[in-house]
Amino acid sequence: MKRALLSGLAGLAILAPTGAAFSQELTVYSGRGESFVAPVIEMFENETGIDVEVRYGGTAELAALLQEEGANSPADVFWAQDGGALGATQDLFAEIPASVSEDQPDRYKSAEGRWIGTSARARVLAYSPERAPEDTLPESVKDLTAEEWSDRVGWAPTNGSFQAFVTAMRVHEGEEAAKEWVDGMVANNAKTYRNNVALVQAIADGEIDVALTNNYYLGRFKGRDSSFPVEQTFFAEGDIGNLINVAGVGILETSDSKEEAQRFAEFLLTPAVQQYFTSAGNEYPVIAGVIPNATLASVSTVETASPEVPLDELSDLEGTLELLRSANLL
Amino acid sequence: MSPNAAARRPPLLLLVPALVVGAGLAVPLVYLVVRAFSAEWSAVQALIFRPYTATLLLNTLKLTAGVLATTTLIALPLAWLIVRSDLRHKKLLSILAVMPLAVPGYVMAYALIGLSGYYGFLNHFFGLTVPRLQGWAGATVALSLYTFPYVFLNLRAALLGLDPALEETARSLGRSQRATFFAVTLPHLVPALLSGWLVIGLYVLGDFGVVALMRYEVFSFAIYNQYAGAFDRFYAAWLSLMLMALTLGFLVAEGLALRGRRFSRVGTGVARRASLVPLGRWRPLAHAFLALVFAASLGLPLMVILFWFGFGAVEVDWALLRATALRTAGAALPGAVLAALLALPLVVLTVRYPSRTSWAIERLAYFGYAVPPLAFALAMVFFALGLAPFLYQTLPLLVASYALSFVALAMGPVRSALLQMGGRVEEAARVLGRGPASAFASVTLPLLSRSLVAGGMLVFILIVKELPITFLLAPTGYTTLSMNVFARTSEGMLLEAAPYALVTILFSSLFVGLILRYEGGRS
């Protein structure tokens, strides 16, 4: 009996790995969270019959993993949290035909045509109306290093969107000012969180009073519970803390499913998906003709709030990582 | 040990698998070292010789000390009560005391986090928004609550094997019960305590689920941050090397602490069981202690998970849950079987054909288990990308990595079974005209099968719970239970994580029960 059991197990062991070979057609590396991406992938699979496998991870992690993998990369598409990471990876991307993104404003895609934005978002200040009433909030993100905000601010240094914002600060305000700000925040005991969800949750939990995050996270909480005790706002007009950025995709030069990858990119720009990003995802569309999300500030408000920083200039991810590392944040 | 064991050449059938294990462990680790040293030395110096590294080291040691102290405070009274007092239902209590092993660390951390906060258990029922347990305290509590069974099992075995004559002698010389415990019993428990501490210490060094969720900056957390937030390959490799050095330090420290002590019985006669100590008026206190331990280690995670279940009507995607569970088993089962199959030749080689080579391979297997899984996985990623790209992100590499990482665990039970057996039975079969292979297969193997299965099952549980190796090496799209719980928890979706956490615990509990049955013969 026992011997039968053992040899049965041994047989299984030999069979198991072979039984799990995938009939993969498209492999996506996603720096965006599963809760958000999975429904879109499902729509795409149902519509096209193409099988998609997704590897989830941090945006910077996947950008570096793609560099490490080089020609051996199994990835076909990189779906990143921000334009900066796409810029940093674009030497690995194939050119995307102009026809794919002809409906898009230039602001939302790379000048070289190697990546396209799929949804736009803004950096915001999330706050607790109870402990940090709106009239006490600072004019600029740079004011958060002041004494009065000591121990009260949360941030997520490993998050791709945050890193892109720091890169923008380095470009827009200069290296010195950016370093000074990061060090000032550390000295002010800014609390580190894993990601944006944790930041918004931490305000509700009473751990912090304000947090630097993206505009679409709060909507997820409010959608479940309209009395969720957190609100969000912009800094003064033109402040770097209100940066507009995009999530976007690039197609890998080494991909052997370029056609499917291009279909995927096109799919993300269809009105139906753009409407989903806007209504369900609380982001901003990157094509015209989408019904705006009533719970969000209008696109024009966001565009005036954000300073002009071309996304192509945000590709020095490495420099930002070094800055964050020197502050012991990574 | 058969008398003519020395000076025999081991058969190739044993040597080849052993060498494969040795190479499989050594190559990625060597590759990690090569990777680390290929960096610019000045850049490396700037990264390593800075205050932050000292912080990581200090935090790692603080966490280890905290967990060792807490687990000892839980496990020592627990083991004494279950072995030496006159409590009833000891079999059940023993099982309950081992069960927390089935709770994965990230689930324990998730349960503690789920207690507090705006949506937390306490706020929901009592209107308390307590600050979240996190950092050192959070990580210490979470780790201690599910690792204490390692110390408990060691102490229980030591207490069962203790010769009561020692204590009786001390008592007859006029020492009180308490003084006897501290002067005689406790010193004899030191080796058991040390080996339990070593297991837990290594575990703490390698754990990454708990420290990541509790945000406590120790080495493994920093490695993960490098990987997930920046993926600075050289820095991640260097951090891994530092962590491995610390691991070696723990191994050496334990060896030194045990050197020159003798605890075996001297004299003739048979060891008896000690008579049970009546608890008397201390009974309620003992009951309260047991209730507290089990409520915290088993009740809390189950309660929090069930609470999340009952909280919003979460749409449980049963099909996905089943697929995930199947994928988990599909990687864990071959991993466990492979570990058991590799353990067999390794053990036979070291017990029957001792040589410098076999000793080195055995040590390497133990070191492989001691290497923090995150560092091991990172080494495998670099190795596969650099030297074996066809294996990169494939299921066979994941299964092989599991097996190599845990083979030492499967060796333990097999080794003790083989040593107890001696070589006589097999020699008898040889005298009766059987060849060496046939004699082994017909006589020794059937006697070893029970321990092989027990070892394999132990590995299976650990693979089901395992996070870092799975996280880094799983094929794209091959998500397991542990990846699901961790990903959802870190996205703050505690509700959605609940079914996966529950299935993980059920999976492991089932096997803990089976192992206790398999090993039940030796209480």
Q: Which of A115-124, B11-20, B259-268 has the lowest mean pLDDT?
A: B259-268
Alpha-carbon B408 to chain mean position? 11
User: Hey, how many other C-beta atoms are within 10 angstroms of the C-beta on B131?
Assistant: 10
Rounded to the nearest angstrom, the minimum Cα separation between A255 and chain B is: 15
pTM comes to 0.81
Query: Which residues from chain A sit within 8 angstroms of residue B231, using beta carbons?
Result: 58, 60-61, 63-65, 68
Q: What is the mean pLDDT of residues B261-290?
A: 72
Query: Which residues from chain A sit within 8 angstroms of residue B132, using beta carbons?
Result: 205, 207
User: Hey, how many other C-beta atoms are within 10 angstroms of the C-beta on B434?
Assistant: 16
Cα distance between residue B70 and residue B74, in whole Å: 6
Residue-wise pLDDT for B226-267, tens only, equals 776 655 677 878 888 888 888 888 878 877 777 656 555 555
- Sorting pLDDT into bands at 50, 70 and 90, what band is A199? very high
B118 and A CB contact within 8 Å: yes
Roughly what angle, to the nearest 10 degrees, separates helices B300-310 and B105-115?
60
B132 and A CB contact within 8 Å: yes
B135 and A CB contact within 8 Å: no
Sign of CA dihedral B268, B269, B270, B273: negative
Burial of A249 (0-12, 13-18, 19+ CB in 10 A): buried
- Nearest CB to B452 within list A6, A20, A207: A6
The tokens describing B509, both together, are 């509990």
Q: How many residues in total does chain B contain?
A: 523
Q: Is the pLDDT of residue A248 over 80?
A: yes
Please, which residues 164-223 of chain B have a Cβ atom closer than 8 Å to chain A?
212, 215
- Interface-testing mutation among B476, B480, B517, with chain A (most A C-beta atoms within 10 A): B476
H or E element at residue B444: none
Q: What is the pLDDT of residue B347?
A: 87
Residue whose C-alpha is closest to residue A123's, from A319, A327, A309, A318: A309
Q: What is the mean pLDDT of residues A245-254?
A: 93
Q: What percent of chain A has pLDDT over 70?
A: 93
Rounded to the nearest angstrom, the minimum Cα separation between B230 and chain A is: 5
Asked if the Cβ–Cβ distance from A2 to B453 is below 8 Å, we say yes
B161 and A CB contact within 8 Å: no
Q: What is the mean pLDDT of residues A237-266?
A: 93
Q: What CATH code would you report for A2-120+245-296?
A: 3.40.190.10
Q: What is the mean pLDDT of residues B456-465?
A: 87
Q: What percent of chain B has pLDDT over 90?
A: 14
* A122-243+315-326 matches A2-120+245-296 in CATH topology: yes
Rounded to the nearest angstrom, the minimum Cα separation between A207 and chain B is: 7
Q: What is the mean pLDDT of residues B7-29?
A: 81
Cα distance between residue B457 and residue B343, in whole Å: 13
Query: Which residues from chain B sit within 8 angstroms of residue A224, using beta carbons?
Result: 312
A9 and B CB contact within 8 Å: yes
- B224 to chain A: closest CA residue: A330
- Nearest CB to B334 within list A16, A192, A194: A16
Q: What is the mean pLDDT of residues B388-402?
A: 91
Q: What is the mean pLDDT of residues A10-27?
A: 52
The tokens describing B392, both together, are 């990169």
- B399 to chain A: closest CA residue: A17
Give, in order, the Cα–Cα distances in Å from A89 to each of A70, A86, A314: 11, 5, 12
Asked if the Cβ–Cβ distance from A63 to B231 is below 8 Å, we say yes
Question: Domain locations in chain A?
Answer: 2-120+245-296, 122-243+315-326
Residue-wise pLDDT for B494-511, tens only, equals 777 888 888 888 887 887
Rounded to the nearest angstrom, the minimum Cα separation between B165 and chain A is: 41
Q: Which of A33-42, B7-16, B300-309 has the lowest mean pLDDT?
A: B7-16
Q: What is the pLDDT of residue B518?
A: 65
Q: What is the pLDDT of residue A218?
A: 92
Residue-wise pLDDT for B71-127, tens only, equals 999 999 999 898 888 888 888 888 888 888 888 888 888 888 877 767 676 766 776
Burial of A25 (0-12, 13-18, 19+ CB in 10 A): middle
B496 and A CB contact within 8 Å: yes
Q: What is the pLDDT of residue B128?
A: 66
Rounded to the nearest angstrom, the minimum Cα separation between B482 and chain A is: 14
- Sorting pLDDT into bands at 50, 70 and 90, what band is B313? low
Architecture of domain A122-243+315-326 in CATH? 3-Layer(aba) Sandwich (3.40)
Q: What is the dihedral of CA B14, B17, B21, B23, to 10 degrees?
A: 100
Q: Which of A237-246, B148-157, B283-292, B353-362 has the lowest mean pLDDT?
A: B353-362
Angle at A261 between CA A256 and CA A263, to 5 degrees: 135
CB pairs under 8 A between A and B: 152
Q: What percent of chain A has pLDDT over 90?
A: 52
Cα distance between residue B315 and residue B334, in whole Å: 32
Residue whose C-alpha is closest to residue B220's, from B380, B63, B21: B63
Residue whose C-alpha is closest to residue B56's, from A115, A255, A330: A330
